[in-house]
Each structure stands twice: as structure tokens, then as C-alpha cells.
Amino acid sequence: MKEKLIIGTRKSLLALWQSRHIAERLKKEYPSCEVVLKEIVTKGDKIQDVPLAQIGGKGLFTKEIEEELTEGTIDLAVHSLKDMPTVLPRGLCLAAITERVASGDAFVSNNYESFAALPSGAPLGTSSLRRKAQLLAARGDLNIVDLRGNVDTRLRKLDEGKMDAVILAAAGLMRLGYAGRIREILPADICMPAVGQGALAIECRIDRRDVRDMLAFLNHKETKQCTDAERAFLRLIAGGCQVPIGVHAEIEAGRMEIRAIIASLDGKKAVRDSIEGNPLAAESLGRVLSERMVAAGGQEILLEIL
């Protein structure tokens, strides 16, 4: 067992909360091990005034951290799984996926009780193409405003009156103590979550068996199976690109159900489908659903975007 572990993390409040949470779990499991954080600035942190889709897809918040993993200056990294590309850099792996906290998207507003209560033309903030497409599909009369920044920055912009509401991941709000600001968790038929949303990913080098063994206790079996299915679905379609795709897997009574949507940017076209099966075949189920939806019209939608 290593005597010291260095965790690479972004500097945002949410990233630091997540990394400190994992650090505390490691200290509890291994009381004699020193666990420290190393803060790293990523490209996604540096560029705050341009929509994410214009500067790249997934990986904007992980590349610099992964470079330090490869170089060996840190032992592990803690990420929001939804920020992770479906194909990792050579030599790296996801050593553990933590139990999912909440997968849904939260409606936050100071003046309106629900998404349905927003008046026509109301400015609604989000940085996600996935959310934008689905929100427009449900309410084409709204003014979707691009909203970048960390959770606290986005809430501040809402409080300054720059928009009537914002949509944020429920898990992030809960982790930072903002659960009381959630007016509504949007149902999946209005806004299907992102791949891996609500779970944390612990990344390390494949050749560091000592580190991987120490991280194994953090892995949550059912969440790992569900997110493996979701990531397999996305990997076949778009890899790490920013695309309007939502997919969510759940396990109930020993059966896995995966639901997904592929939508056009304006929300006017969408393909929805679902599949059920054995959780042990999670990745296969994700691939089958992906292939089926691409053949049912998803390919045409994606070609307009990619």
C-alpha cells in the first residue's frame, strides 16, 4: 500500500468538493496513508466566454489532469463522469465509479415554481447542447441562453437577473449545499440526463496496480454497470463530441432498462427508444440500442450536427 496518494483536481468549488470527498473516504479506509490534492487548471476552466461546443467536446476539463497522470506527478484524478470522454488516453483507466447521487437535471429559478410555469420568451440558461435541444423540443417558445461558468457563477448570474431560470445538474447542486434552490427535477421525458451524470469517476494509470487496488473499494457495482451501458451507447455514436444525446440506465429487480434520445439542435427532430436486459450485458445493451436508434433516423440528425 502506498504511504501517500496525490489526487489531481480542477479548482472549481464542485471539483474540490468531489476530490475532498474521495480523499476523506481514502483516509478512512487507509488511516496511515497521506492523501493530498494538487489543483490543476484545464482548458475548459480558462475559456469561459465561448460555448463548449465551439471549443471542443468532452475532454476540455480532463486533458491537463490526464497529462499529469501519464507523467506520474499525480496518482489519481477525480472527475464528474459526465465530463469524461468515452475513449481514454492510452495507458489510463477508470479504476472506480462511485454510487450515483442523482442523475437528473434541476430547474432553478427565483420567480417560477417549475419549467412549465415559465412565460413564453423567458430567458433560460444552460451550457449544454443536450439540454438545449430537449428543452426546445418541450418548449420551443423559450429563449435558451448560453451559460458558462462553475455552479456558483451560474447561480450568481441568475441572481443578478440575467435570466429567469437555469438548468443545472441536480447532483452538483446537492453536493455544494444548494439543494434548497432546486424548484423541480426535470423528468427524463423532458430532459434525459447526460451519460454518467451524478457519478464520480476515479482515473489512474493502468500500470499502477498498487493504486488501482487501493481504489477498488470505491467502485459501486450497479452504478458501474449502468454507466458502462451509457458510455457504450455514446461511444458508438459520437465518442467525445458535444452532441444532443441523452441516455440513462437503471437497474430494478435484476433487470436493466436503458432509455435514450438523439435530438436535433433546434429540438424539432428526435429519435427516442429504450431497451431492457441483463445488467451483466450492459455494454452490449448500450451498443444495440445505439445501433437501433442510428438506423431509425438518428444518423440523419447526427450528420446535420457533426
Task: Let me know if 83 is a catalytic residue.
Answer: yes
Q: Which residues on adjacent β-strands are paired with residue 126?
A: 146
Give the span between the Cα atoms of 250 and 269, in whole angstroms.
Answer: 25
- At a CB cut-off of 8 Å and minimum separation 6, what does 58 contact? 83, 84, 85, 86, 240, 241, 242
Q: Which of 83, 105, 164, 228 is catalytic?
A: 83
Nearest alpha-carbon partner for 224 in 196, 254, 257: 196
SS3 string, the chain, reads CCCEEEEEECCCHHHHHHHHHHHHHHHHHCCCCEEEEEECCCHHHHCCCCCHHHHCCCCCCCHHHHHHHHHCCCCEEEEEHHHCCCCCCCCEEEEEECCCCCCCEEEECCCCCCCCCCCCCCEEEECCHHHHHHHHHHCCCCEEEECCCCHHHHHHHHHCCCCCEEEEEHHHHHHCCCHHHCCEECCCCCCCCCCCCCCEEEEEECCCHHHHHHHHHHCCHHHHHHHHHHHHHHHHHCCCCCCCEEEEEEEECCEEEEEEEEECCCCCCEEEEEEEECHHHHHHHHHHHHHHHHHHHHHHHHHHHC
Residues belonging to the active site: 83
